[in-house]
Structure 1
Amino acid sequence: MTTLSIFNQSQPDAAHTVTTDPQVISDTLASQGVRFERWPTRELPADASQEQILAIYAEEVAALKRECGFLTADVVSLNPDNPQKDAFRQKFLAEHTHSEDEVRFFVRGQGLFYLHFGGQVYALMCQKNDLISVPNGTHHWFDMGPEPEFTCIRLFTNPDGWVASFTGEDIAARLPRYEALAGVAG
């Protein structure tokens, strides 16, 4: 279930707001400039290729490209049997920013976005059907968990794709990780 937990960075062990209501999540994130929407998903073959996924969602991808000026779209997918899953997880666990909006539409699985605004951290457990657009310059990180299983459509204005500028802050290490927020045994 899509869940938003808001933490005070000075008390990272206790979420002070938790909601699963999609409208409350959307409104709360919108107040920080973050776009959150629930989109209907379509049936996909278990072994759907990037091309198939992009073709199935061509209308939505084209609309976002027109609306936001995105130039490219691709699909990222990770499964628990990936031998590099630990390295991939570590790469995204450090707080960073981007010079463009980070857009993800979850067509399968789940992942946890952390958004750092001032003294608060918004932890959004995204699920299948969730679209998130993190504005450029927003301090954030992503936790896919120890057994990642997700497929997302990504959109970019930069043809080089995902380019991060790491902040060097240790805030990500001080907050509960995916295992705690997803109820998964670590």
Structure 2
Amino acid sequence: MVRAWFMDDSDADQRLEHMTDPPQFVDLDYLKEQGVLYWKLDADNWEKEGKLTQIRSERGYSYEDEITCTPEKLPNYEEKLKMFYQEHLHSDEEIRFIVDGSGYFDIRDKNDKWIRIECLKGDLIILPAGIYHRFTLDTKDYIQAKRLFVGVPVWTPHNRPNDDHPARLEYLKSYLSQAK
């Protein structure tokens, strides 16, 4: 099961856990209130298992590619990590299936607090359009992920602040106005 927690305010290496002391964990129900969806798949047997195919079909994901983030495989590695870690939103969902390795997605909750979501091999996470988020690797500096999209991928990050963006307005209306 995925682990998630409220982050501390430290400016130490972004690849560290950044748990508060004592840790304040967040459950899947709380993540769902923020619009985040999660599944655990068999990363070594995902094609035969069929869950990814079912999710793709149900949610209309028609495009897929794969990214490997490691200093040896990702061109301009340092610049890309800085870009991924800039707080931003997208006009479409962000869907990632972790095939190997690990990393963190950080999201802003309804109170504008950072929540760190640990993503490990076999995790499939969907961040809703309009949610402020960022991504970083952990100290292992390696993740391989399938990226899924509805239609042609749109790679445009809209850095914060962008509170008037249509996807942000829809996100606020759909999730944060209902969150308790």
TM-score computed with the length of structure 1 as normaliser: 0.69
> Aligned residue for 2:146?
153
SS at match of 1:99: coil
Q: How does 1:138-149 map to 2 (within 5 A)?
A: 138-145=131-138, 148-149=141-142
Whole-angstrom distance in 2 between the partners of 1:138 and 1:57: 32
Q: How does 1:68-147 map to 2 (within 5 A)?
A: 68-82=59-73, 84-117=76-109, 118-145=111-138
Whole-angstrom distance in 2 between the partners of 1:68 and 1:154: 14
Whole-angstrom distance in 2 between the partners of 1:59 and 1:147: 29
1:164 aligns with 2:157: yes
8 A Cα contact 1:89 1:146, kept in partner:
no
TM-score computed with the length of structure 2 as normaliser: 0.71
8 A Cα contact 2:63 2:153, kept in partner:
no
Percent identity, aligned pairs only, is: 25
TM-superposed CA distance for 1:17, in Å, is 4.4
Give the aligned residue type for 1:100. Answer: D
SS at match of 1:66: helix
After superposition, the Cα gap between the structure-2 partners of 1:107 and 1:141, relative to the gap in structure 1 and judged at 3 Å, is same
8 A Cα contact 1:106 1:153, kept in partner:
yes
After superposition, the Cα gap between the structure-2 partners of 1:101 and 1:58, relative to the gap in structure 1 and judged at 3 Å, is farther
Write 1 or 2 for the structure with the bigger share of strand: 1
TM-superposed CA distance for 1:3, in Å, is 2.9
TM-superposed CA distance for 1:114, in Å, is 0.4
> RMSD value over aligned CA atoms?
2.7
Whole-angstrom distance in 2 between the partners of 1:100 and 1:149: 25
- For structure 2, the residue ranges without an aligned partner over 5 or more in a row are 11-18, 163-180
